[in-house]
Amino acid sequence: MLELKNVSFAVDADLGDREIIRDVSLTVPAGRLIAVTGPNGGGKSTLAKLIAGIEKPTEGRIVFLGEDITDKSVTERARLGISFAFQQPVRFKGIRVMDLIRIAAGKEITVADACAYLSAVGLCARDYIGREVNASLSGGELKRIEIATVLARGATLSVFDEPEAGIDLWSFRNLIEVFESMRAEVKDSSIIVISHQERILSIADEIVVLKDGAVDRHGPREEILPALIGTPSAVPECRPAEIASERRVFGQ
Amino acid sequence: MIKLDEIQKRILREVADLHEVPEGAFNIRSDGHSVGRQSTANIEILPKTDVSGLEIRIRPGTKNESVHIPVVMTKSGLKEVVYNDFFIGEGADVLIVAGCGIDNCGTADSEHDGIHRFYVGRGAKVKYVEKHYGSGDGKGKRILNPGTEVYQEEDSVVEMEMVQIKGVDDTERTTLATLKAGAKLLVRERLMTHGEQRAISKYDVRLNGDGASADVVSRSVARDDSFQKFDAKIAGNAPCSGHTECDSIIMDRGRILAVPGLEANDLDAALVHEAAIGKIAGDQIVKLMTLGLTESEAEEQIINGFLK
């Protein structure tokens, strides 16, 4: 479905070019969930942005569904079926949650449809549908709305940049259900998730470890995960304090 | 029954959301003359005798009634100053819709300066909506200089919505308000300028009574080579609370000058000013592009939402 061929990405630094992605070649087959992990600063977010078209590679080609998309814009890639959930969701004054979901869906949708997406990410739809996507929403709420917009897109390839970061009380189980329902809804669709969370890595079909801008390891989960457990590339799902507060909220 | 031509109807739709002659009290002014007027049992509209304009008297206790006083100008080169005085009785609760649309296809400038004075009785509630609109492709400018004065008695509430989105070349708006104890003023201004337009908006709000409050919020967009100045002053002369906010987007070569002014003359006056001016955040455009919009569609969505 997606193929990165010898992709490199460099930025102008004070002392010559600094390479953030170095000669990455990667194939994402249809119908797979690929988790990308690795140390901080290893180039994971940049890789996601290169796929979405927010950054353009300095070298190499990107092929999506047989078409070379290296020179295509963010909009063109979106229309071809690539969806992207930001690590830090953007706020908009005046644009309501309903508006954003409608834009994501690319067509007129009913309030009931929009509510279904919000419910899927664990938000009480009635409370959110008319709200502005502005600073009055918490980081966790924004993060879930961001995921809801990706759901509404129904894309062939969805890229999530650390979707679990900041989702506070929302359980991992829900996030995993979201991934599963996305795969079920769009036939042969694939998901790329950037994450350190062991729980997310443990549902991936394949794991890619990115280190210093290059692919360090890539293979089926069964092969890659055991060696990662206990390292910063695969941390347990929640800190104990978070689990405790979650239990209080859900009355357990 | 009044007859309106298509241009008049279109302008009325833009400035007053009117599709036909309104219900309730109204006066429609077109090219310098009243073309229709209606008073109701509780709302009396009388023409002034000394100057051009109207005297609008709303009886105490009048509830859920509306007054529409739209102005339409379709002749090039017309200049007028109109004085409208509103006397709103104690405890009344009314909607007042004003607005001016100029269609100038000619070469001479057209100008309408509407001076509105509101005397708001104790405990009365007024919602005032004023929309400005300009159209026509003539070289003549479309000029609007509205002056608004608001005198609020104790515990009265005035909510003003001022909108100018398109087509007015030059505008200088001044709003003066004085508030007695417990009175409340809310202003929501939305402004978009383009081309070579120039818009100046000045507020002078005086909170004179215990517990008076004012909230003046402007959201604006300056595109092309246009210029805007937002000059909002709130004086707290008693224990009171005041807030002004100027939130603006600049595009192309647009320029905006925001001049905050707070004057606390009482120890218990709590006054806040906020101002932010900047171009559309790049990540907002990118986010909408990842949802399939083009860059210009994304900008349009952002501006539309911002000015909603």
Count of helices and strands (H, E) across chain A: 10, 10
Q: For residues B274, B277, B279 and B280, what is the CA-based torsion angle, rounded to 10 degrees? A: 20
Residue of A nearest to B280 (CA): A92
Residue of A nearest to B305 (CA): A94
Q: Does B108 touch chain A (CB under 8 A)?
A: no
Low-confidence ranges of chain A (pLDDT < 50): 239-252
Give the C-alpha separation, A41 to B171, whole Å.
52
Six token digits for residue B281:
């955040």
Nearest Cβ partner of A92 from B247, B284, B293? B284
At B2 the pLDDT is 63
Query: Do B65 and B42 form a contact (C-beta atoms < 8 A)?
Result: yes
Six token digits for residue A178:
């979201």
In A, which residues are within 8 Å of B292 by CB distance? Answer: 75, 78-79, 103-104, 106, 153
- Tokens 């009265």 map to which residue? B156
The DSSP secondary-structure symbol of A126 reads H
Contact state of B308 with A90 under an 8 Å Cβ cutoff: no
Nearest Cβ partner of B305 from A78, A93, A149? A93
Q: Does B38 touch chain A (CB under 8 A)?
A: no
pTM of the model: 0.82
Contact state of B291 with A96 under an 8 Å Cβ cutoff: no
- Tokens 């455009």 map to which residue? B285
Q: Does B296 touch chain A (CB under 8 A)?
A: no
Q: Does B282 touch chain A (CB under 8 A)?
A: no
In A, which residues are within 8 Å of B299 by CB distance? Answer: none
Contact state of A73 with B247 under an 8 Å Cβ cutoff: no
Pairing verdict, β B79-88 and B269-278: unpaired
The DSSP secondary-structure symbol of B224 reads T
Instruction: Quote ipTM for the complex.
Output: 0.89
How far does B278 lie from chain A, in Å, by closest CA?
13
How far does B228 lie from chain A, in Å, by closest CA?
20
Q: Which residue, among B291, B295, B299, B300, would best test binding to A if mutated, counting the most A CBs under 10 Å from its CB?
A: B291
Give the C-alpha separation, A66 to A71, whole Å.
14
In A, which residues are within 8 Å of B219 by CB distance? Answer: 93-94
Residue of A nearest to B285 (CA): A90
Nearest Cβ partner of A95 from B286, B289, B305? B305
∠ Cα B214 B218 B222 (to 5°): 165
Residues with Cβ < 8 Å from B240, sequence gap 6 or more? B179, B207, B209, B210, B211, B212, B213, B214, B266, B268, B269, B270
Other Cβ atoms closer than 10 A to A13: 10
Q: Left, alpha or beta for B211 (phi > 0: left; psi -120 to 50: alpha)?
A: left
How far does A154 lie from chain B, in Å, by closest CA?
11
Other Cβ atoms closer than 10 A to B282: 10
Six token digits for residue B74:
């379709």
How far does A74 lie from chain B, in Å, by closest CA?
6
Residue of B nearest to A101 (CA): B291
Q: Does B306 touch chain A (CB under 8 A)?
A: yes
Query: Do A175 and A15 form a contact (C-beta atoms < 8 A)?
Result: no
Nearest Cβ partner of B301 from A79, A89, A103? A103
Run of H or E including B302: helix B295-306
Contact state of B289 with A73 under an 8 Å Cβ cutoff: yes
Tens-binned pLDDT, residue by residue, of chain B (308 aa):
566 777 777 777 777 776 666 678 988 888 888 888 999 999 999 999 888 899 999 999 999 899 999 888 888 888 888 999 999 999 999 999 988 888 878 888 888 888 999 999 999 999 999 888 888 777 788 888 889 999 999 999 999 999 888 778 889 999 999 999 999 999 999 999 988 899 999 999 999 999 999 999 999 999 999 999 999 999 999 999 999 999 999 999 999 999 989 999 999 999 999 999 999 999 999 999 999 999 999 999 999 899 88
At A237 the pLDDT is 59
